Amino acid sequence: MMTKVLTILRAAVLAGAMMMVGACGSGSGSGENTPAMQSTSIDALGTLNAPVTLSAATGSINFTDDASFANNVIIQGFGADDKITVTGANSAQYDAAISSTSAGDVIIAYNSGTALNRIVLQGVIPAGFTGLVFDVASFNALAVGDIEFK
């Protein structure tokens, strides 16, 4: 009897943990920061001519980007469990800052007036994709994590 109760409890805990992981940075736009997600700031990383390469391949990562501090980064392995959280600018300002390449990369380059915020997300556009990624909404429609504005 006791064993059965423990088994049920363990299953409930596992289900809860899985739901928390699932809630982080989903492509559907409902991602919230959870204990399972680590935050890392990209501000002040890289210079205009020399980007810093980061990897999101392991773990669930929230890349935070304050638009008033310059950065130039390349992010590899950006997936459905990752996201970017921008402060100091709004979604409409970033609409004109997003473009894509034929190699499947998305480039975000927002100039605040005093700081260039540049992020290259390598390989986030799937092979055979026929749409265009040109603003926040079309980026967030991809199967990878979203750009959110706080």
Query: Which residue, 61 or 80, has its beta carbon nearer to Ca ion?
Result: 61
CA nearest neighbour of 42 among 53, 33, 29: 53
Helix (H, G, I), strand (E, B) or coil at 11: helix
Query: Which residue, 43 or 80, has its beta carbon nearer to Ca ion?
Result: 43
Q: Tell me: does residue 65 bind Ca ion (CB under 5 A).
A: yes
Q: Tell me: does residue 117 bind Ca ion (CB under 5 A).
A: yes
Q: How many residues bind Ca ion (CB under 5 A)?
A: 5
CA nearest neighbour of 38 among 86, 92, 85: 85
Q: Tell me: does residue 81 bind Ca ion (CB under 5 A).
A: no
Q: Tell me: does residue 71 bind Ca ion (CB under 5 A).
A: yes
Interface mask toward Ca ion for 34-63; x: CB under 5 A: ---------x--------------------
* b/e 49-71 (16+ beta carbons within 10 angstroms → b): eebeebebeeebbbbbbbbebbb
- How far is it, in rounded angstroms, from Cα 138 to Cα 142? 7
Q: What is the closest distance, in whole angstroms, from the C-beta atom of residue 71 to Ca ion in the complex?
A: 4
